[in-house]
């Protein structure tokens, strides 16, 4: 090539892009009619699978003109959305699944479960502690009761419950002292008011050695019984001897001034006591006597039995 113009006779033949320059346009250069890489071939470019054979193709705008813009939201002739193709993806937008109510969307309320578990453990520990304390307390009470259990035939002041129990117990007998077998000069009397026996009659003249009363009584079974004795003293303590089925008890029968009557006042001295004894099934003999060493200044009112060793 020489510095001179040895190329094509016209700009458009010399430079295929001469139509893009001002001098080329002045000399009448025109864009190519079509071919690979030129504007005329742009309308043949399609997205894979988009071209529908047998359908009319959109027209290409003339060179130098702006193609008509499509309105927003209107179908595009050059593009077909996947959902418009048979078998395509559904067009309905799926709503996200709402998290379960009452939580933060991060699983179960572990804080609440932990608090509940701690409460259960605390309740169990408290229950065990209460059971241990109660058990120790009950054991202590049992030990105290065993230690304070008096020996057979020991006398004491009767509680109100013993009187109620004897009144409600209809299986075991009650007897007035005047109905007992009297010995040794013991006699009946009624000059001191306040005796519970029928007609206010009691057994007196008991304060000398040899005086005695004997009760022959039947019980339904062999076992422990409580003998209750109603009596009166003149404001001072008295004693007697209790004999069960021929065997005298080693401990004297206490006839104390539980009513706290003034000394010499027989009417205010009526009271009662109890003794724990053991009887055999069937007939038994209960004897109260004034023996050597006893202080027997007392009037005998009534006798009655209750089951077991009670007060």
pLDDT in 10s for each residue of the chain, 311 residues: 445 555 555 544 556 666 676 666 777 766 666 544 445 444 555 555 555 555 545 455 555 554 555 555 555 555 555 555 555 555 555 544 444 444 444 555 666 777 878 888 778 778 787 666 655 555 544 433 333 334 444 455 444 333 334 334 457 999 999 999 999 999 999 999 999 999 999 999 999 999 999 999 999 999 999 999 999 999 999 999 999 999 999 999 999 999 999 999 999 999 999 999 999 999 999 999 999 999 999 999 999 999 998 76
Largest alpha-carbon pair distance within the chain?
A: 183
Q: Which residues pair with 204 in a beta bridge?
A: 187
Alpha helices in the chain (DSSP H): 11-14, 22-26, 110-148, 160-168
Q: How far apart are CA 134 and CA 205, in angstroms?
A: 53
Residue 104: C-alpha distances to residues 10, 99, 113, 177 (Å): 79, 8, 15, 88
Q: How far apart are CA 274 and CA 158, in angstroms?
A: 6
Angle at 307 between CA 301 and CA 309, to 5 degrees: 90
Q: Which residues pair with 277 in a beta bridge?
A: 225
Please return the burial class of 98, using the count of CB atoms within 10 Å of its CB with bins 0-12, 13-18 and 19+.
exposed
pLDDT at 164: 36
Region of 139 on the Ramachandran plot (φ > 0 left; ψ -120 to 50 alpha; else beta): alpha
């Amino acid at each position: 090539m020489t510095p001179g113009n040895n190329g094509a006779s016209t700009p458009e033949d010399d430079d295929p892009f001469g139509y893009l320059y001002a001098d080329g346009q002045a000399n009448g250069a025109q864009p190519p009619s079509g071919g690979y890489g030129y504007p005329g071939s742009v309308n043949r470019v399609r997205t894979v699978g988009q071209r529908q054979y047998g359908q009319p193709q959109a027209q290409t705008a003339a060179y130098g003109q702006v193609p008509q813009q499509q309105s927003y939201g209107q179908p595009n002739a050059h593009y077909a959305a996947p959902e418009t193709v048979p078998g395509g993806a559904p067009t309905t937008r799926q709503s996200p699944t709402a998290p379960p109510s009452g939580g933060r969307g991060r699983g179960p309320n572990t804080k609440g479960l932990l608090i509940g578990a701690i409460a259960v453990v605390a309740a169990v520990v408290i229950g065990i502690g209460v059971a241990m304390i109660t058990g120790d307390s009950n054991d202590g009470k049992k030990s105290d009761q065993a230690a304070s259990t008096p020996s057979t035939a020991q006398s004491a002041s009767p509680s109100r419950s013993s009187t109620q129990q004897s009144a409600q117990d209809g299986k075991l007998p009650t007897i007035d002292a005047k109905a007992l077998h009297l010995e040794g000069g013991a006699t009946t009397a009624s000059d001191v008011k306040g005796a519970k026996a029928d007609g206010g009659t009691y057994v007196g003249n008991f304060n000398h050695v040899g005086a005695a009363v004997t009760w022959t009584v039947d019980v339904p079974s062999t076992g422990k019984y409580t003998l209750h004795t109603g009596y009166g003293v003149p404001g001072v303590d008295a004693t007697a001897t209790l004999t069960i089925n021929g065997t005298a008890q080693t401990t004297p029968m206490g006839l104390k001034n539980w009513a706290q009557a003034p000394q010499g006042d027989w009417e205010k001295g009526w009271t009662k006591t109890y003794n724990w004894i053991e009887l055999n099934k069937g007939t038994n003999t209960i004897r109260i006597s004034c023996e050597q060493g006893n202080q027997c200044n007392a009037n005998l009112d009534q006798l009655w039995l209750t089951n077991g060793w009670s007060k």
